[in-house]
Amino acid sequence: MKPPAFDYSRPETLEEAVGLLAELSSGGKVLAGGQSLLPILSMRLAAPEHLVDINRIAELDTISAGPDGVRLGALARHAAVERDPAVRSTQPLIPAALRQVAHPTIRNRGTTLGSIVHADPSGEMPAVLALLGGSVTAVSARGRRTISAAEFFLGPLESALGPDEIAVEAYFPALAVRSGTAFAEVSRRHGDYAVCGVAALVSVDQERRITSARAGYLSIASTPLVLDLTEAVLGRRCADDLSAAGRLARQLVEPDADIHASADYRRDLAGVLSDRVITEAARAAAGSGPGD
Amino acid sequence: MQVGSSYLGEPIARVEDPRLLTGGGRYLDDLGQDAVELAVLRSPHAHARILDIDVSGAIDVPGLLAIYTYDDLSGPLAEPLPLLIPHPSISAGRTQYVLAKDEVNYVGEAIAVVVAENRYLAEDAAERIEVSYELLPPVVGLVAAREAQQLVHRDVEGNVAAHFVQQVGDAAAAIAAAPHRLSLELSVERSASTPLEGRGVLARWDTDSQRLRVWTSTQTATGVRAAIAARLGLDLGSVEVITPDVGGGFGVKIVHPWPEEVLVPMAARALGRAVKFTEDRREHFISSAHERAQLHEVEVGFDDEGHLLGLSVRFWHDNGAYLPYGLIVPIITSTQLLGPYKPAAYRVEFESLYTNTVIVTPYRGAGRPQGVFAMERTMDAIAAELGIDRAEVRARNFIQPEEMPYDHGLIFQDGRPLVYDSGDFPATLDKLKALVGWDEWPAYQAQARASGRKVGLGLACYVEGTGVGPYEGGHVQIETTGKVKVSTGLTSQGQGHQTAFAQIVADELGVAISDIEVVTGDTRRFPYAVGTFASRAAVMSGSAIALAARAARAKILRVAADALEAAAEDLEIVDGMVRVKGAPGNEIALGTVAVLSNPLRYAFDEASKAATQFAVGDPDLPPVAEDDEPGLEGKDYYSPLRSTFANGMHAVIVETDPDTAEVAILRYCVVHDCGTLINPRIVEGQIHGGVAQGVAGALYERMAYDESGQLQNASFMDFLMPYVSEVPERIEIDHLETRSPLNPLGIKGAGEAGVIPGAAVFASAISDAEGFQITAMPISPSELFELRRQHAANAAQKGTQP
């Protein structure tokens, strides 16, 4: 479990970094927190020629939260984002999901944007980005572009990012008025990849009746799966029976089995957890009050 | 024992901990920073014939020093590895070669080794070696092994390595005649020791003296030493084996020699360089050892009160691709299955079967978790069948204290009769019932059920043969500073031997713990030893060290009596001073006694000046009397007639989530009897670690082999060793101390106790929570979910039938 030889650069500026990646064509790989990349290298599952370490690029170490949403730079560590009060008040789903990302030591080093770019369908943050309809901004020598979450995740461990591009920012829309979120997952051990995880975003009207209920799923499909469950619970209140959401989710998901769980168990969990998070998110939406 | 100076039984803090907890430990990979490194090319196939090995692509790798394949081996190195523990019932014992010869039989089997300037380069070279294979059909799992449509070893029919039967009375007739009968099929899956530190070896060959010094992360330094000497054709005296700090063993490191333990010294001698191998985690999963996979069929006959009239058990043991450790695991299952019970007739039969998977050797518990699972599931089934309380059924079948020593009429794993030396099972059960609140449980459960909660209480009892022979030795030496140096040959893997053995010596010699240093597992210090396994270190070396300390004490008193002009029996040793009882001030320091015991020619310091031949002794006698020796030391060995039997009972309360089928542990209670406690804190630590591995085996760990023999979860990402967040926050423990009559301190082993009833007690609790019987362990939430559906469907079907 020792990686094969690779070249290593640690540029000080973004310009320098994208220049390097352009030169390397497809032989370069960006190193940020390294929490997924380094094990992959050690197990010799990948052997990039050249690692471009972006940890010295100060302009990427940003966390900002404003009326329109949360913007995370490529060096924003999970732990820092998780504890940021402005992030929490702008989009509480982010810290709720981050608490389920691996273990504290990994969150100290791992970056939120890095885990999005890794595009693991079992990752919490890709599902959150997809559910909220966020986006990823990428920079390369060719220029700068913003990719919507819907177009970003192409398959397991596969994103729309080009080999010469650096993802520099993730954008998560702010929580709208009369909206609430919730996150829940079942994992075999604390901090493991979830057997199934669900994030919910629910909006209510002034009578606190549900107008929209959407859920984002991890470990259920080959990319983060977003389901619109509104039809199952439209017009209901949080105190009502919302289990139709779970029933609909069970119908819509097509999970695979693996060594940890049967497909049926996963499907059932998707339903159970959908009920839990839709109810909790509806409660949060109702509690945010008509005047908010 | 000294008045007012008893360390034995005190929960003192481990003297090892400050060093280990502050990063001062020196593990194998911390050593030999100058060494070149070895990497192993391992088979990617579970079963294949090797057609060709082409190393030409690897030759150009920079820093490459050597590549070895089977063809490079000769003499004893080219012979199969030893079958360490032969047994008459082994009909087809097969062991692997240090490097595969012609055929590979599991994914991970060593095919070639590469030595290079560092591990990175060695792996680069290993990756470039091309091996051509002819694939053979793999045999994976017990079902395939039993069907034997394919064979692991061409010449081993039915994949059967061994077939063994033991019986007492006519179990079949007793069962047939019994008023009640039950049949159960019970299975346990594979798990493994998975110590935090994997295997590792470092060897230095001294070209000048033609001697070999080896450091290895092992549970037996003397065993590895003998194996290396034999394989490399060296005199035993030319080989030294030292165990540095070892980061856990749990059984896997008792297997020896591992191929690397022979190949690293071989390369070191050939290259004249220090060579090191540090196993990585993936290698540990696919090339060390696993345990536990067994399928059991139980037939039991019992009367209206639940008394066991006849018990017949057949089981199949998956021993993996080879059989280096003999039948220890299944023999332990077949005998220790009986636990605290005394069926009127018992028959047990097993087959040990080859599969194309990693070898199986003892892992903490060693066959007992499976046996206890089979027996305790049977007791619960009898209780359910008769509608009798589960604890009551057990109590009715207990061997009673007055029946000790109790002879089962069977032969145990050490080849000796299975005779329980002592134990008080009714008292143990009473304590456990009180601890967990057994009698209040039905009311609690009813209340929880009424509020929609599923809670269950499980119970499991076990007896553990510990302290197996043949022997261990101890050496105790008092230096002129008054410090005491203790050594024993068996090894330490984190058990706290430095502390526990020092406690024994402190009491025997009347010295402070801080003045005692204990060395283990260094063949330079103590060349005769067996090893640390089978919960034997405290019993075996503890006893030997006590005897050695007593020998040293006798000499201390003899020399001191001379110096103090008193009778030896009037002396006592307190705080490092030998003094005449009742005569304050008439005393002599232990260090001074050591000075007096050794007449010297040369003096280097004040103490040695006092000890020159001109200063001590009677000028009319030789400086060292006939039949005496210079120095103040004692050495002795302890070799028991047979094993001593510890016992215990566990209870767990679980809550299962009605929706997600997750299992939460609400309480975990242990009552434990390992005879005299040397250090209760260390014993409780052993129980904590054992319970954690019990939880692991019950709820988390399994080896997920696919049909082609690939291990799909060969990492801690997918092999679910529990984190601290998965084990009970608090383990409630109560002790009994039923002394063993077999050794000087009354000790029984404690190392494996915590893990043994794990699968059984969780199966019992989950069954109690769910209302149906759990028959296969471990169990995951997904499996519990599927079982619930199955039982609901069965119930629905029954409901629709007329």
Does residue A12 belong to any structural domain of this protein?
yes
- Chain A nearest CA to B116, separation (Å): 13
Closest to A98 measured CA to CA, from A120, A86, A83: A83
A165 and A72 in one domain? Answer: yes
The pair of structure tokens assigned to B191 is 């798990």
Nearest CA in chain B to A43: B282
A168 and A250 in one domain? Answer: no
- Select the residue of A3, A262, A269 nearest B660 (Cβ to Cβ): A269
A83 and A148 in one domain? Answer: yes
A6 contacts chain B (CB < 8 A): no
The pLDDT confidence band at residue B585, using thresholds 50, 70 and 90, is confident
Residues B553-580 pLDDT 10s: 999 999 999 889 999 999 999 999 999 9
For B662: left if phi > 0, alpha if psi spans -120 to 50, otherwise beta; the answer is beta
Number of domains in chain A: 3
Give the end of a domain, one of A32, A52, A72: A52
Q: How far is residue B687's CA from residue B682's CA, in Å, rounded to a whole number? A: 9
The pair of structure tokens assigned to B244 is 């540095």
Closest to B765 measured CA to CA, from B318, B436, B279, B331: B436
Q: What is the CATH number of the domain that holds A23?
A: 3.30.43.10
What is residue B595's predicted lDDT score, i.e. its pLDDT? 92
Our separate counts of H helices and E strands in chain A read: 12, 14
Does residue A210 belong to any structural domain of this protein?
yes
Note whether A218 and A185 are within 8 A (CB). yes
Contacts of A192 in chain B (CB under 8 A): 717, 720
Domain that holds residue A47: 7-52
A72 and A16 in one domain? Answer: no
Contacts of A265 in chain B (CB under 8 A): 661, 781-782, 785-786
Mean pLDDT for B426-455 is 97
- Chain A nearest CA to B118, separation (Å): 10
Does residue A74 belong to any structural domain of this protein?
yes
Note whether B758 and B697 are within 8 A (CB). yes
The pLDDT confidence band at residue A67, using thresholds 50, 70 and 90, is very high
The pLDDT confidence band at residue B2, using thresholds 50, 70 and 90, is very low
A278 and A196 in one domain? Answer: yes
B710 contacts chain A (CB < 8 A): no
Contacts of A260 in chain B (CB under 8 A): 718, 780, 782
A218 and A145 in one domain? Answer: no
Residues B124-159 pLDDT 10s: 999 999 999 999 999 999 999 999 999 999 999 999
Q: What is the CATH number of the domain that holds A164?
A: 3.30.465.10
Mean pLDDT for B356-385 is 98
A216 and A121 in one domain? Answer: no
- Select the residue of A186, A189, A260 nearest B723 (Cβ to Cβ): A189
Backbone angles phi and psi of A18, in degrees to 5: -70, -30
- Contact residues, A window 43-62, toward B, CB-based 8 Å cutoff: 43-44
- Chain B nearest CA to A5, separation (Å): 8
- The answer, yes or no, to whether residue A222 has pLDDT greater than 50, is yes
Which residues lie below 8 Å from residue B545, measured CB to CB, with a gap of 6+?
B474, B476, B486, B488, B501, B504, B505
Nearest CA in chain A to B700: A188
Does residue A292 belong to any structural domain of this protein?
no
Contact B661 A265 (CB under 8 A): yes
Query: What is the residue-averaged pLDDT of chain B?
Result: 95
State ipTM: 0.95
Contact B785 A265 (CB under 8 A): yes
Q: How far is residue B398's CA from residue A241's CA, in Å, rounded to a whole number? A: 53
Radius of gyration of chain B (CA): 28
- The answer, yes or no, to whether residue A290 has pLDDT greater than 80, is no
- The answer, yes or no, to whether residue B673 has pLDDT greater than 70, is yes
Residues B607-655 pLDDT 10s: 787 777 777 778 888 888 889 999 999 999 999 999 999 999 999 999 9
Does residue A46 belong to any structural domain of this protein?
yes
Which residues lie below 8 Å from residue A26, measured CB to CB, with a gap of 6+?
A163, A164
B260 contacts chain A (CB < 8 A): no
Query: What is the residue-averaged pLDDT of chain A?
Result: 96
Contact B660 A186 (CB under 8 A): yes
- Select the residue of B123, B659, B712 nearest A259 (Cβ to Cβ): B712
What is residue B160's predicted lDDT score, i.e. its pLDDT? 98
Q: What is the CATH number of the domain that holds A268?
A: 3.30.390.50
- The answer, yes or no, to whether residue B67 has pLDDT greater than 50, is yes
B717 contacts chain A (CB < 8 A): yes
DSSP-derived secondary structure for A277-291: HHHHHHHHHHHT-TT
Note whether A212 and A221 are within 8 A (CB). no
Domain annotation for chain B: domains and CATH numbers: 17-23+470-597+632-638 (3.30.365.10), 31-136+199-246+252-287 (3.90.1170.50), 366-466+642-797 (3.30.365.10)
Contacts of A261 in chain B (CB under 8 A): 780-782
Q: How far is residue B612's CA from residue B247's CA, in Å, rounded to a whole number? A: 45
- The answer, yes or no, to whether residue A292 has pLDDT greater than 60, is no
A164 and A213 in one domain? Answer: no
Note whether B378 and B182 are within 8 A (CB). yes
Helix axes B368-386, B328-336, angle to 10 degrees: 30
Give the end of a domain, one of A157, A173, A189: A173
- Select the residue of B282, B718, B722 nearest A1 (Cβ to Cβ): B282
Does residue A31 belong to any structural domain of this protein?
yes
What is residue B749's predicted lDDT score, i.e. its pLDDT? 95
Residue type for position B575: D
Our separate counts of H helices and E strands in chain B read: 19, 29
Count A/B contacts: CB-CB distance under 8 Å: 64
What is residue B802's predicted lDDT score, i.e. its pLDDT? 55
Contact B700 A5 (CB under 8 A): no
Mean pLDDT for A113-139 is 97
Give the end of a domain, one of A127, A145, A173: A173
Residue type for position B33: Q
Does residue A26 belong to any structural domain of this protein?
yes
Mean pLDDT for B478-506 is 96
Helices (H), B107-220: 119-127, 141-147, 171-177
Tracing tokens 């009559």 back to the chain, one arrives at B741
What is residue B166's predicted lDDT score, i.e. its pLDDT? 96
Which residues lie below 8 Å from residue B312, measured CB to CB, with a gap of 6+?
B171, B172, B175, B298, B299, B300, B346, B347, B348
Helix (H) or strand (E) holding A93, with range, is helix A93-98
A99 and A20 in one domain? Answer: no
Contact B124 A195 (CB under 8 A): no
- The answer, yes or no, to whether residue B606 has pLDDT greater than 90, is no
Report the SS3 class of residue B789: helix
Contacts of B725 in chain A (CB under 8 A): 189-191
Helices (H), B568-632: 590-596, 606-609
What is residue B79's predicted lDDT score, i.e. its pLDDT? 97
A255 and A221 in one domain? Answer: yes
Nearest CA in chain B to A103: B723
Does residue A152 belong to any structural domain of this protein?
yes
- Chain A nearest CA to B186, separation (Å): 21
What is residue B600's predicted lDDT score, i.e. its pLDDT? 86
Mean pLDDT for B589-599 is 92
Assign 3-state DSSP to chain A and report helix, strand, coil percentages, each to 5.
35, 25, 40
B716 contacts chain A (CB < 8 A): no
B712 contacts chain A (CB < 8 A): yes
Q: How far is residue A122's CA from residue A192's CA, in Å, rounded to a whole number? A: 10
Note whether B767 and B691 are within 8 A (CB). no
Note whether B525 and B566 are within 8 A (CB). no
- Contact residues, A window 160-189, toward B, CB-based 8 Å cutoff: 186, 188-189
The pair of structure tokens assigned to B579 is 């003094």
Mean pLDDT for A112-119 is 97
Contact A43 B282 (CB under 8 A): yes
What is residue B625's predicted lDDT score, i.e. its pLDDT? 87
What is residue A113's predicted lDDT score, i.e. its pLDDT? 98
Q: How far is residue A37's CA from residue A76's CA, in Å, rounded to a whole number? A: 17
Report the SS3 class of residue B640: coil
A75 and A48 in one domain? Answer: no
- The answer, yes or no, to whether residue B1 has pLDDT greater than 80, is no
Contact A261 B718 (CB under 8 A): no
Residues B270-309 pLDDT 10s: 999 999 999 999 999 999 999 999 999 999 999 999 999 9
Contact B725 A191 (CB under 8 A): yes
- The answer, yes or no, to whether residue A291 has pLDDT greater than 60, is no
Note whether B354 and B145 are within 8 A (CB). yes
Helix (H) or strand (E) holding A166, with range, is strand A166-173
B707 contacts chain A (CB < 8 A): no
A45 and A148 in one domain? Answer: no
- Contact residues, B window 731-790, toward A, CB-based 8 Å cutoff: 780-782, 785-786, 789
The B346-354 sheet, strands edge to edge: B160-168, B346-354, B308-320, B294-302, B180-188, B776-777
Q: How far is residue A260's CA from residue A262's CA, in Å, rounded to a whole number? A: 7
